[in-house]
Amino acid sequence: MKKALNYLLNLDFVISGVAFLLLLAVTFVGVIMRYVFNDPLIWQEEAQLVLIVWVVYFGLSGAMRERSHVAIEMLVDAFPRPIRRTIELLGQLVVVVVLGYTLVRGFAYLQQMAATNRYTNILKLPYKYVYAALPVGCILTILNQALVVLEDFGVHWRVAPEKEEEGDENAE
C-alpha cells in the first residue's frame, strides 16, 4: 500500500517535470525561430501558458511533500519548541484552507470552461484540459500537506529504499 502511495504521489513530479522540459524546449525553439530564422512561432506563447499552469500546480504538490516550498522560518525558529509546533500547525491549516478555497473556485472555473466549450485561440486546446491542473493540483497538494502533518506527528508513510541482501555481501 505504501509503495502504491509513493508511486501515485510521485506522479506530480513526473507531470511537472515533463511540462517543465517541454516549456524549456518550446522556449528554446521559439528563441531560435525568432532570432535566427526571423520566423516566430505563433503558438509559442499559448503553449507556454498551458505548460506554466501545469508546472506550477503539479510542482506545488511535490514541493509541499518534500518541504521545499518557500518559507521564512527565522522568526518562528526563535520561539520555544511547543509554540513553534503550534505556529507551524496553524500555518499548515491556513495553507489547507486557502487550497480548499482555490479547489472549490477551480472546480467552478473548470465547469464553466466545460459548459462554454471554450478553446485556446491558436492551438484549439479545450480550456477544460488546460485548467484541469488547478483542481487536481490542489487536491494533490492538500493530500501532501496532510501527509506532512502526519509525518510531523510521527506517522511514517514513506517507503524506505530497499536494502541489499546482507547474505550477498558475506558470500565470499
**Cell triple for residue 127?**
480550456
Residue 91 has which C-alpha cell? 500555518
Segment 114-125 shows an average pLDDT of 92
pLDDT tens-digit series, residues 51-72:
999 999 999 988 888 888 777 7
Least confident of 46-60, 74-88, 120-134, 154-168: 154-168
**What integer is the mean pLDDT of 160-165?**
48
Res. 172: pLDDT tops 80: no
Question: pLDDT higher for 70 or 80?
Answer: 80
Rounded Cα gap, residues 31 and 38, in angstroms: 10
What are phi and psi for residue 163, nearest 5 degrees? -90, 155
Q: Which residues, in sequence order, are bridge partners of residue 119?
A: 126
Given a cut of 80, whether residue 50 has pLDDT beyond it is yes
Q: What is the DSSP string of 92-136?
A: HHHHHHHHHHHHHHHHHHHHHHHHHT-B-TTT--BHHHHTTHHHH
H or E stretch at 46: helix 44-65
How high is the pLDDT of residue 64? 86
